[in-house]
Amino acid sequence: MLIFSTVYNMTTPEELEDFALAKLRDRKYLLSILEIIKGFIHERGLILYGGQAIDYALRLRDSKLYSDLEIPDYDFYSQNHVEDAYDLVDILTERGYEFVSAIRAKHPQTMRVRVGINVVADIGYITPLAFAEVKKHALEYNGMLVRSPYDQMVDILRQLSHPLDGFPRSSYKARSSKDLKRFDMLIEKYPLNALNIPAKGPPLKKTAVTVANPCHQVLGGCLAYCAFYADYLRLKLPTEGILPASITHTDTGFEAEIVGHPILIIFEAAQANPKDTFTNEWYAPYMDNKPPSVIAKSGIEYWLTTYLYILVAKWGNHYVMSLEGLLSYFLQRSVDTPLRSTYGPFLISLMRMVDNIAKHRAPTKGTVFSPAARIMGCKNRPLETGFYPEIKDILPQEYHASNDRPEPFQYTSIFKTDGTKTSKDCVVIY
C-alpha cells in the first residue's frame, strides 16, 4: 500500500520515470561496470558523442538532458575501435564480470560491448584526421572529453536534412522530435554568436553557374543562401547585420555574387566531368556530414548524392537545399577554424533572417521560404556501409570473452568497391 501511495502522489512523468530508475534491480551492477568504462575513456583520451555528450555539455551550463538517476549510455569515438572494444572485454572479464562480448553494432563503423544482455558501450570508428579535429573543439566533463555542442548541432541539422537515412527505421520516424528538442536545448545554452564569428565576410565575387538539368541539380551552399536572401528581401524586413548577396537568372543558369565555390548537388558523377576534377576524401574532418564532392576547373563544387536522400525545397523552376541542410553546411564550416571567416558570416546572417521572420511575421501567413517537401537522391546502399579510408574490404570480427581473442578484421567481398561507382537509378520523389 505504501508503494502505491508513493506512485499515486507523483504528478509528472519525470517523477514516475525517476521512481522506476531508482528501483531498477540491476542498477548497482550496471553502474559498477560503467565506472570502469568511464575510467577507460579517460585513460585513453577518447571522445564522448551522442546523447550523453549533449547531457554533459548542458550540465556545464546548469542544464541537463537526462535525469540524475538515468544510467549513462556511453558512445565514444576511437581511432582503433575494434582493438579498444577487445581491450574493454578483457578488462571487464579480469574484473570478474561474466558473459562479456564485443559485437558489430547496426552501423559497420561501430563496435558494441555487452555484459550479458546489457549494452555498456558503443565505440565508433573515427579517422586520425577527424579525431584531431573533433578533439580540438571538445569540452571536458569529469575528466572525459566531450564532443563540441556545435559539432553535435551539425549532426542534428544533417539528420533533419536527410529524413530517409537509416531505412526502414527512417530518421523522420525515429528521431526528428528528439533531435529538435536537443537542438533547441543546445542552441539556448551555446548560442551561435558565442563562436565569435566576424560580422563582415570577405568580398563577394560574381560567378556564372550553368544548370544543365534543373530537375536533377540542386542549388547548395552559397548559391542556396542567395536564393533564401532573395526571398527574404521580398518581405521588406530589417537587413542590418545580414550579409548581402545577389542571384539573377541567365539563359543557362544563374549569375551570383558569392564567396567560395558555388555548389551544385548532383546525382551522377558523370555530370561533373570527372576528367577535369579531383575528388575529396570520403571522410572529411566532420565525418560524413559532407557528401563526396568534386571541384571542376570552372570553380563549381559538385556534391554527389548517390549514397543518400537529401531534403530540398522548390525555388521557382529550380531546387535549393533545405534550410536545415544549409544551416548545417555553414555551421560545419564555421566551426572549422580556417574557414570561419569565410562561412561564419553566412551562418550568422541566415540565423538572423530566420529570427527576424519569426519576430515580424505571423504564423498564420504560412511559410516564408519554400517548404522542403521534396526528397531527391539515388537508390543505393547508404554511404556509411564499408567506406573507411584506412580499412577497406574488411569486416570487424566479434569477440566473446569465453573464446580466444581474434584478429580485429577479416577480409570480405561485402564491401568490394573503390567508392567511385554510381547508380543510374536516379530518382526524384514528390
Please give the domain boundaries of the chain with CATH numbers for all domains.
Answer: 22-147+395-424 (3.30.460.60), 194-385 (no CATH)
Residue by residue, pLDDT tens for the chain (430 residues) are 334 444 445 567 666 666 666 666 678 889 999 999 999 999 999 999 999 999 999 999 999 999 888 889 999 999 899 999 999 999 999 999 999 999 988 776 789 999 998 999 999 988 787 788 789 889 999 999 999 998 888 888 877 777 766 555 555 566 778 888 998 899 899 987 766 666 566 666 777 777 766 666 788 888 888 889 988 998 888 888 888 888 887 777 778 776 666 666 654 444 445 444 445 444 444 445 566 666 666 666 777 666 566 777 778 778 888 888 888 888 877 766 566 677 778 888 888 888 888 777 766 555 556 555 566 555 443 433 333 334 445 678 888 988 888 888 776 544 333 333 333 332 322 2
What's the rounded Cα separation, in Å, for the pair 193 and 347? 10
3 state SS of 311: strand
Nearest to 424 by CA among 375, 374, 376, 380: 380
C-alpha cell at 356: 527576424
Q: Compute CA 304 distance to the chain's CA centroid, rounded to the nearest angstrom.
A: 17
Does an H or E element contain 283, and which?
A: none
CA 101 – CA 123 distance, rounded (Å): 13
Taking a C-beta distance cutoff of 8 angstroms, is the pair 87, 43 a contact?
A: no
Compute the distance between CA of residue 224 and CA of residue 92 in angstroms, rounded to an integer: 51
Helix (H, G, I), strand (E, B) or coil at 244: coil
pLDDT for residue 403: 86
Per DSSP, 275 falls in state: G
What was the pLDDT predicted at 186? 93
Query: How far apart (Å, rounded) are the C-alpha atoms in residues 250 and 318?
Result: 13
Q: Half-sphere exposure (CA, 13 Å, Cβ side) for 48?
A: 26
Please indicate, yes or no, whether the overall pTM of this predicted structure exceeds 0.75: no
Q: Strands of 139-141's sheet, edge to edge?
A: 139-141, 144-146, 47-49, 75-78, 118-125, 110-115, 100-104, 399-400
Cell, residue 174: 525515429
What integer pLDDT is reported at residue 392 of this predicted model? 46
Decide if 92 contacts 118 (C-beta within 8 A). Answer: no
The phi, psi pair for 252, rounded to 5°, reads: -110, -5
**What is the dihedral angle through the alpha carbons of 133, 354, 178, 379, rounded to the nearest 10 degrees?**
-70
What pairs with residue 139 in β-bridges? 146
10 Å CB burial of residue 258 (0-12, 13-18, 19+) is buried
The pLDDT value given to residue 196? 64
User: Partners of 263 in the beta sheet?
Assistant: 220, 301
pLDDT at 260: 60
pLDDT of residue 384: 39
Q: In what order do the strands lie in the sheet with 205-210?
A: 205-210, 253-258, 246-249
Q: Are 398 and 103 in contact (CB under 8 A)?
A: yes
What pLDDT was estimated at residue 349? Answer: 86
Q: What is the pLDDT of residue 179?
A: 86
